A and B are shown apart, each in its own frame.
Chain A
């Protein structure tokens, strides 16, 4: 890249990628989470997301720290363990004009925060929900999480005996309209999934497999970088295209499906194995269960269905952000109180 400012590439808003950068990561070198962070920056820049309209919400854990490492010109809220979901729900109700990126971990989302995760999905709160999924509690130095596989061992030898929760199957079961699994080591797939999720208008769940290089990267772990690479079964080759990019992206030939989004963008799915229809909920669940039974990790767009009503529609509020309303809109008049008082008269 040129040292000259003017020579740096810009996106459709005229921003260089620097506008999407965040603070320096303090995570371990080689952490999968850093790869995910890098692709969030890349995806937001390429898709021309306006930084000031983004709210980054997270819980607590290594994953949740990463909201400080991307999009420094967006607002961030590092909340409490397992409970980013309700905070994001509050943000969504208050200002539906914001785009939210919620970063959580497998411990954060699927143990302490399971109830919130489940109900967030049920309510279809519009946001991109990324689980940086490493199958271990890392910030507390290596305990099993709810996505740890049966038979996977910790560094000191303890072997997990308790069946894991699969966030993708759970989300599909709960009615989520966009469910993807991806791998921090597959940057092309990761970026395409992120861009598609950003274009989706409801809750988009991404289970991002992200090996922990410090506490879960040993031989006896089923979530080491090597194990995930070996178990990874990409369903399709993904290419995301926005209308303004039509001319610049070349999609290789092959058997393919296409998923379109309300802003005119589309995700092209070129089958790598047998044809996979991401609009078939039952098939998606079967495929996930079959793959897990076989010790495989299916990645790609597992399920998609066009937008259904979001939480704001469900509570019946205005199409415009409630935070923009002034006192004249939200404070009823003196006459209204007089009417209420007269309805309460004792006789």
Chain B
């Protein structure tokens, strides 16, 4: 049974780069001018690696539904990566390895639409989730990301959202989202990052 079935052109390139980086650092360690801690320095996916990002938002109104729905979307991200890397102006589509879970408290249909569209305006910050735990401090900083909506991806969510308070009832409605990020490296001459 083949164990690397899911690897794409982009993810292979990224792993190769990381292996090269690791090799350079471990060479340094062997020749006594490098340190182990350099090997374990955190990635720069959100901070300096990309100029353009694509975010894929999956959303549900219950945690239970979101567990299943986000898992389904997660399992499809690599197919999107496969299509993106075929695009003429994209050289690498780099999926971040984890989705980010967020909870949002909305009171109108409009707010729900915003939360689904990736807005962090209604996010409940004090509910820790696996990937947005404030203690870990590992969450991404919202303002630093260039978002581009994924038209088709999002419209798929429509059926999942049920508005239970359509009669103007101001009861809070929770929206649970899991967002997946893809960093885009463009081909030379296509406005690629410096």
Are A and B co-members of a single complex?
A: no
